[in-house]
């Protein structure tokens, strides 16, 4: 009887968004009379930071500082259509819709500025600080604040735009079954090191080293935050979490979340995160969806590490001490 060490590796591809009845998200952008911009969405921020990312995307597209953008995700009854925040689709789908809406709003904004400055709209550019300048003659400029006032009170125009992003449903080809369920994949690879006590069946994850390829990281600190949390969650899925430990038998299933196991702050594995940025062709500024992907590769990596440590393949989650001990017993009996 001994503590045995093992190391396992796993790599995954993970689609961004879903392929059911088509996957649309829509967005509306409009300016207030003082030249702040509102993004209206039905997409919900569950803590991933969608509001911040949509503000950045809108600001980048219109050419204003991020703090000039307010994102309203208040109401799925009255807001523009969104399928929802799931399938790692939020940044990709809503981001693309926001870009389209913001482009249209920017065009109106430049047209109003052009009338004020008596130049062509195509000769104008934004400085990213809240001003519109004549290309090559930056001393000729107008603030977006004044443009908005002019649009609202003088020119009777709405600086606004509509954005729609739809990934249409892909049907399998009759002959081959080939289809395109997703247009954009994130990738990850994890190496996990574990210790398995072959007497108690207990697994301790010592280290997890993750590489995530997530398109462009629109907000690197928030990406890191998701990945760190996701890596922990992957270990939690691998070793602890279940509502039905003897599925389909309900016996010993938790009756409440207080019987739902997750590792606490004292059970953390040494975690390393490396981010690779390979901008996606159809992502907003190259982004992909890293949300769920980041909690997946740890699971097969831990299962492989357990195999490396004690030579048994556990193919049911979570990898509990009981499952390991039963497998070791079966192995010994053979």
Partner 1 sequence: MAKVPVQFTLNGSEKAEFIDSGTTLLHALRDKIGDTSPKGGCHQGTCGACSVIIDGELRLSCLTLVETCNGAVISTTSGLSEAGVLHPLQRAFLDTFATQCGFCTPGMIMAAKVLLDHTPNPSRDEVIEALSGNICRCTGYEPIIQAVLTAARSNSQNAA
Q: Which segment (12-20, 184-192, 242-250, 254-262) binds partner 1 by CB under 8 A? A: 254-262
Kindly tell me which residue out of 22, 33, 47, 138 binds partner 1, with binding defined by CB under 8 A: 47
The string over 33-66, giving b where at least 16 C-beta atoms fall within 10 Å of a residue's C-beta and e elsewhere, is eebbbbbbbbbbbeebbbbbbbbbbbbbbbbbee
Place of tokens 């990709």: 92
DSSP annotation of 68 reads G
Q: Which segment (58-66, 156-164, 187-195, 263-271) binds partner 1 by CB under 8 A? A: 263-271
Least distance between partner 1 and beta carbon 220 (Å): 10
Does position 44 interact with partner 1 (CB under 8 A)? The reply is no
The CA distance from 288 to 216, in Å, is 7
Q: Which segment (59-67, 106-114, 122-130, 266-274) binds partner 1 by CB under 8 A? A: 266-274
Does position 297 interact with partner 1 (CB under 8 A)? The reply is no
3-state secondary structure of 198: coil
- Nearer CB in complex with partner 1: 268/274: 268
With residues binned 3-state (H G I as helix, E B as strand, rest as coil), the percentages for the chain, rounded to 5, are 35, 25, 40
Least distance between partner 1 and beta carbon 295 (Å): 10
Does position 49 interact with partner 1 (CB under 8 A)? The reply is yes
Q: Are 135 and 124 in contact, with CB atoms under 8 Å apart?
A: yes
Kindly tell me which residue out of 14, 37, 212, 232 binds partner 1, with binding defined by CB under 8 A: 232
Q: What token pair was written down for 206? A: 């010592």
Kindly tell me which residue out of 84, 229, 254, 286 binds partner 1, with binding defined by CB under 8 A: 229
Kindly tell me which residue out of 136, 177, 248, 266 binds partner 1, with binding defined by CB under 8 A: 266
- The single residue of 104, 111, 193, 292 carrying the catalytic annotation is 292
The CA distance from 66 to 37, in Å, is 10
Distance of CA 77 to the CA centre of its chain: 24
Does position 174 interact with partner 1 (CB under 8 A)? The reply is no
Does position 268 interact with partner 1 (CB under 8 A)? The reply is yes
Kindly tell me which residue out of 77, 136, 171, 257 binds partner 1, with binding defined by CB under 8 A: 257
131-134 and 137-143 strand pairing: antiparallel
Q: Which segment (9-17, 91-99, 155-163, 218-226) binds partner 1 by CB under 8 A? A: 218-226
The CA distance from 212 to 225, in Å, is 13
Closest CA to 110 of 61, 181, 42, 163: 61
Least distance between partner 1 and beta carbon 233 (Å): 7
23 forms beta bridges with 167
> Residue 233: CB partners within 8 Å, gap ≥ 6?
295
Q: Could you confirm whether 224 is annotated as catalytic?
A: no
Kindly tell me which residue out of 52, 66, 107, 271 binds partner 1, with binding defined by CB under 8 A: 271
Instruction: Give the binding-site size for partner 1 (rule: CB under 8 A).
Output: 24
Contact positions vs partner 1 (CB under 8 A): 46-49, 221-222, 224-226, 228-233, 256-258, 262, 264-266, 268, 271
Q: Catalytic residue positions?
A: 292
């Amino acid at each position: 009887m001994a503590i045995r060490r093992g190391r396992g590796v796993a790599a995954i591809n993970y689609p961004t968004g879903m392929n059911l009845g088509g996957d649309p998200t829509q967005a509306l952008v409009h300016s207030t009379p003082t030249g702040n911009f509102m993004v209206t969405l039905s997409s919900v921020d569950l803590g991933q930071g969608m509001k911040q990312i949509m503000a950045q995307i809108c600001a980048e597209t219109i050419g204003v500082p991020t703090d000039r953008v307010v994102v309203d995700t208040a109401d799925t009854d009255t807001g523009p259509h969104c399928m929802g925040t799931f399938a790692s689709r939020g940044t990709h789908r809503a981001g693309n819709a926001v870009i389209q809406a913001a482009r249209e709003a920017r065009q109106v904004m430049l047209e109003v500025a052009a009338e004020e400055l008596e130049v062509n709209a195509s000769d104008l550019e934004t400085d990213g600080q809240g001003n519109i300048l004549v290309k090559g003659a930056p001393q000729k400029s107008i603030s977006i604040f004044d443009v908005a006032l002019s649009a609202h009170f003088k020119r009777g125009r709405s600086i606004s735009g509509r954005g729609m992003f739809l990934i249409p449903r892909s049907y399998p080809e009759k002959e081959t079954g080939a289809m395109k369920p997703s247009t954009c994949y994130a990738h990850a690879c994890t190496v996990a090191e574990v210790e398995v006590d072959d007497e108690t069946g207990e697994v301790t994850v010592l280290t997890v080293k993750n590489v995530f390829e997530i398109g462009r990281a629109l907000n690197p600190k928030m990406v890191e935050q998701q990945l760190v949390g996701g890596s922990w969650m992957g270990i939690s899925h691998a070793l602890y979490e279940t509502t039905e430990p003897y599925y389909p038998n309900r016996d010993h299933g938790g009756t409440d979340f207080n019987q739902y196991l997750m590792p606490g702050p004292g059970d953390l594995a040494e975690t390393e995160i490396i981010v690779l940025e390979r901008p996606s062709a159809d992502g907003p500024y190259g982004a992909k969806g890293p949300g769920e992907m980041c909690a997946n590769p740890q699971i097969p990596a831990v299962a492989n590490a357990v195999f490396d440590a004690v030579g048994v393949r556990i193919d049911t989650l979570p990898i509990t001490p009981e499952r390991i001990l039963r497998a070791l017993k079966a192995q010994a009996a053979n």
